[in-house]
Chain A
Amino acid sequence: MKTFGIALKIFLVFTILTGILYPLLVTGIAQVVFQHQANGSLILKDNKIIGSELIGQQSDSTIYFTSRPSAIGNNPLPSGGSNLGLTSSKLKAMVVERKSKFITFNQLDKNVEVPSEMLFASASGLDPHISPEAAQLQINRIATARHFSNTQKERLKILVKKMSETPQLTCLGESRVNVLLLNVALDKLK
């Protein structure tokens, strides 16, 4: 009985300490030091939330850069991947379809190598990035859809280059472009 009392009391102590005080302390510090990040890195336009920098959204219109395939249709409730194995015939069929779709949609030569991330669904279903190569392959199609002049098209090329992130701290992770941020910048391009 004495042991039970000890166990119960110590459980109470840890619950208060690690379950209440610890998250509150972290929230307090985070809200002061990193408010933007702590609240979801949200992007506002005319006081309305248009998305989060970190959460990929569905983008399949001709005037925008296309984001990665998502097994959940970019609906974050709940996040997740396809969980299909590499011997899945379903996956194979989807990849074949995505490839031909990407090529026709972007009016590319059929022998062009489509970057792997545009053929396969992401892990979270919310991947905000694509590779710089995948963005470059879409420039012509977007310029045509937006009736861009040659100078505007050049500016778009520069924009894609400017928005491409190199590996973090020069060697961590992969080169990538944030699709939503790129599309927001694209809307502002004159």
Chain B
Amino acid sequence: MFTTYDFLQIIIFLGLLIGLTPVLGNYMYKVFTGEKHLMSAPLGWLERLTYKFVGVDATEETNWKTYTFGLLLFNLIGFVFVFLLQLTQAYLPLNPAHLPNVSWHSAFNTAVSFMTNTNWQGYGGETTLSYLVQMLALTVQNFVSAATGIAVLLALTKGLSRRTTDKLGNFWVDLTRSTLYVLLPLSIIFAVFLVGQGVIQNFDTYQTAHTLQGAQQVIPMGPVASQEAIKQLGTNGGGFFNANSAHPFENPTPLSNLLEMLAILLIPAGLTFTYGKMVGSKRQGWTIFIVMMILLLGGLAISLYGEYSANPIFGHSALMEGKETRFGITNSVLWSTSTSAASNGSVNAMHDSLSPLAGMVAMINIMLGEIVFGGVGAGIYGMVVFIILTVFIAGLMVGRSPEYLGKKVEAFEVTMAIIANLATSFVILLFTAWAAVSTLGLSSLNNVGPHGFSEILYAFSSAAGNNGSAFAGLNANTVFYNLLLGIGMLIGRFGVIIPILAIAGNMAQKKITPVSTGTFQTDNWLFVSLLIGVIIIVGGLTYFPALSLGPIVEHLLMNHGITF
């Protein structure tokens, strides 16, 4: 039964999100524009020291190609480090459970996954990775992959708000400020709070308990809270444990759950405000926020409907398969909707066991490119792709040359936007098709019938969208899936980032046309509805056939009581 309490929890969650958006957004604006802010005094020396040690001139700005080159190089170094650390963990310290070296294909997958902010888990953390790898490889990537996303957004913002220049800022400065002033302070506070709720944080060996019934239970330990905090805040989502945020050591109470959920959307939501302020119009930021909020609520409503509708196979609604007692149905669905809307991908319930409709909403959120708040930075730059398409289509309809924020949108921008858009759909549809007809792909399935197809479709959507959540019954820890999903993540990440930076570079060189009565406004309700329309039509046309073979047909068959 959906009760007033369920409703109240949703309202509290949304209220906190809306209330904190301008607060955090304004703080981030100050950080990214170099104004004096709350953390300048306590941490400013660290920023200056970093530049001095690294040899960066913070005032020097670069064009988009140099910016992109630095970004790619930095990511490559991260990948190599994470890859090598996994291959040698058995010889390295902080491995109290004596876990062996990770297989090359799983190490490749995980290294790509954490570099690209996907944080897909082909492995079970507690039985695969040493504390050293969790901290030194994964936690670090949780920070810097999120900071990379923010950096791309900042470059794009500069491209849109500056005129006749080729300078987009300095990648190293953007990276450092995001990490130092935004991600790190929030993570420290949040991690300590989580420990207070029961999340563990230690370097002990796994403990053996002698249970009341006289059995033995080995309880894993580790520095969990420090990873948990940034995992949620940086839209990463790769859990310390296999069960992710459903594990009581990652998410022990309803309160920790509420704040972990909030942490998923907090920075992406705040960035809409930052974006608006940086492009010189808060309204533009709020417009994006409203579009995202409408899409989030729409998805949430469908998910709740799916979960609370009577299920003819089991004879009642609100089924608890793959859900935790302390969270119940509503918190599980609120999470599944948020984590897929953002590119977080952490879970507090097993998505494989959600009702077909709730599972489908998660998939659609990911397929649309995670533009509903989305990944830190990635959500807005993904949304800008759709904005460019929308002004272009609107321009075609009224026969006027399309503009966004006073910048002319021309063939180059539209081409790049289309490339960014096609990169993900290419991976999702073609790779799914391949896996669905090959023995290598099908032998990993946990479910049969349409739900089995959904497992594959979800996996490649998750990889291409850099989400990381899964219909986890699929055994993805095989050479086939590790490699194919890894490649999918790379295409889904850099196939979007590079076109976006190219757009930024090209836009920066253009003049800004002053607003006139003939300007097509991009900050009113008409634009909100047009943008939502384009998002749904583009997404719908691309993925509807695939979805109808998976969750849609499963939903219909389920309602006739058919099992597989």
CB neighbours of B125 from chain A (8 A): 78
Residue of A nearest to B225 (CB): A26
Given contacts A7-B74, A13-B50, contact A22 B202 (CB under 8 A): no
- For B447, list chain A residues within 8 Å (CB): 83-85, 87-88
Q: How far is the CA of A80 from the CA of B218 in the complex (A)?
A: 15
A25 touches B248 (CB 8 A): no
Query: Which residues, 115 to 132 on A, are CB-close (under 8 Å) to B?
Result: 116-117, 119-131
Q: Out of A51, A79, A121, name the residue touching B124 (CB < 8 Å).
A: A79
What 0/1 pattern do residues 177 to 206 of B give for CB contact below 8 A with A? Answer: 001100010011001100111111111101
Q: Is A112 part of the binding interface, using a Cβ–Cβ cutoff of 8 Å?
A: no
Interface residue B45 (Cβ < 8 Å from any Cβ of A):
no
Of A29, A74, A81, A168, the most chain B CB neighbours within 10 A belong to A81
Contact B325 A126 (CB under 8 A): no
Residue of A nearest to B563 (CB): A89
Max chain A Cβ within 10 angstroms of own Cβ: one of B202, B212, B241, B446: B212
Interface contact B313-A37, CB-CB below 8 Å: no
A74: shortest Cβ distance to chain B, in Å? 7
Separation of A66 and B399 alpha carbons in the complex (Å): 70
Chain A CB within 10 Å, residue with most, of B136, B229, B255, B321:
B321
Known A-B contacts A11-B74, A40-B200, A51-B209; A87 and B252 likewise in contact (beta carbons under 8 Å): no
What are 5 inter-chain pairs, A to B, with CB distance below 8 A?
A23-B201, A37-B196, A76-B126, A119-B320, A124-B248
B217 touches A75 (CB 8 A): yes
Query: Given A79-B241, A120-B322, are A84 and B199 neighbors across the interface (CB < 8 Å)?
Result: no
Interface residues of A in 155-187 (CB under 8 A from B): 167-169, 171-174, 176, 180, 183-184, 187
Complex contacts, A29 vs chain B, CB 8 Å:
192, 195
Q: Does B472 contact A (CB under 8 A)?
A: yes
B211 CB–A CB distance under 8 Å: yes
Other-chain contact of B188, A25, A39, A41 (Cβ < 8 Å): A25
Q: Which of B81, B124, B203, B249 contacts A54 (CB 8 A)?
A: B249
Of residues 248 through 291 on chain B, the ones whose CB sits less than 8 Å from some CB of chain A are 248-249, 252-255, 257-258
| Interface footprint category on A | 35 or more
At the interface, yes or no: B37 with Cβ under 8 Å from chain A?
Answer: no
Question: Which residues of chain B are within 8 angstroms of A131 by Cβ–Cβ distance?
Answer: 325
Q: Which residue on chain B has the smallest CB distance to residue A25?
A: B188
**CB-based contact A116/B318 at 8 Å:** yes
- Does A105 sit at the interface, judged by CB under 8 A? no
A-B contact count (CB 8 A): 368
B326 within 8 A of A: yes
CA distance A130 to B326 in the complex (A): 8
User: B219 contacts the other chain (Cβ, under 8 Å)?
Assistant: yes
Task: Say yes or no: A13-B54 contact (C-beta < 8 A), given A49-B209, A88-B564, A173-B253.
Answer: yes
A174 to chain B, nearest CB (A): 4
Number of interface residues of B (CB under 8 A): 124
Could you list 19 further interchain pairs (A-B, Cβ under 8 angstroms) beyond the known A37-B199, A95-B314?
Answer: A6-B56, A9-B55, A10-B74, A18-B142, A22-B187, A23-B201, A37-B198, A55-B217, A56-B248, A77-B206, A81-B321, A83-B350, A86-B354, A88-B447, A91-B321, A122-B324, A123-B246, A124-B243, A171-B9
Q: Cβ of A176: which chain B residues have Cβ within 8 Å of it?
A: 325-326
| Among B8, B143, B243, B253, contact of A125 (Cβ-Cβ < 8 Å) | B243
Q: Which residues of A contact B318 (CB under 8 A)?
A: 116
Find chain A residues with CB under 8 A from B325 CB: 68, 117, 122, 127, 129-131, 174, 176
CB contacts (< 8 Å) of B126 on chain A: these are: 76-79
A101 to B214 alpha-carbon distance, docked (Å) = 23
A3, A19, A91, A121: which contacts B135 (Cβ < 8 A)? Answer: A19
Q: In whole Å, how far is A95's beta carbon from the nearest beta carbon of chain B? A: 6
The answer to whether A173 touches B203, judged by C-beta atoms less than 8 angstroms apart, is no
Closest to A177 in B: B325
Report whether A86 and B212 are in contact in the complex, using a CB–CB cutoff of 8 Å.
no
In the complex, residue of chain A having the shortest beta-carbon distance to the beta carbon of B470: A83
- Please tell me if the beta carbons of B451 and A40 are within 8 angstroms of each other in the complex: no
- Taking a contact as CB atoms under 8 Å apart, the answer to whether A92 and B322 are in contact is no
Instruction: Give every chain A residue within 8 A of B200 (Cβ-Cβ).
Output: 37-40
Q: What sequence of 0s and 1s flags, for each residue 8-37 of chain A, a beta carbon within 8 Å of any chain B beta carbon?
A: 111101110111101101110111011001
Q: State whether the Cβ of B242 lies closer than 8 Å to any Cβ in chain A.
A: yes
Among A7, A60, A61, A79, which residue has its beta carbon within 8 angstroms of that of B247? Answer: A79
Contacts of A49 in B (CB 8 A): 207-210, 219
B352 at interface, CB cutoff 8 A: yes
Please judge, given known A-B contacts A83-B473, A171-B5, whether A27 and B226 are in contact too, CB under 8 Å.
yes
CA distance A121 to B226 in the complex (A): 29
Task: Determine how close the nearest CB of chain A comes to the CB of B277; give it in whole angstroms.
Answer: 27
Docked pose: A186 CA to B174 CA in angstroms? 57
B355 CB contacts on chain A under 8 angstroms: 86
Query: Within 8 Å of chain B (Cβ to Cβ): is A52?
Result: yes
Q: How far is the CB of A19 from chain B (nearest CB, A)?
A: 4
Among B230, B320, B558, residue most surrounded by chain A Cβ atoms (within 10 Å) = B320
With A and B bound together, what is the CA distance between A167 and B258 in angstroms? 12
A172's contact among B208, B255, B554, by CB below 8 Å, is which?
B255
> B42-62: which have CB < 8 Å to A?
50, 53-56
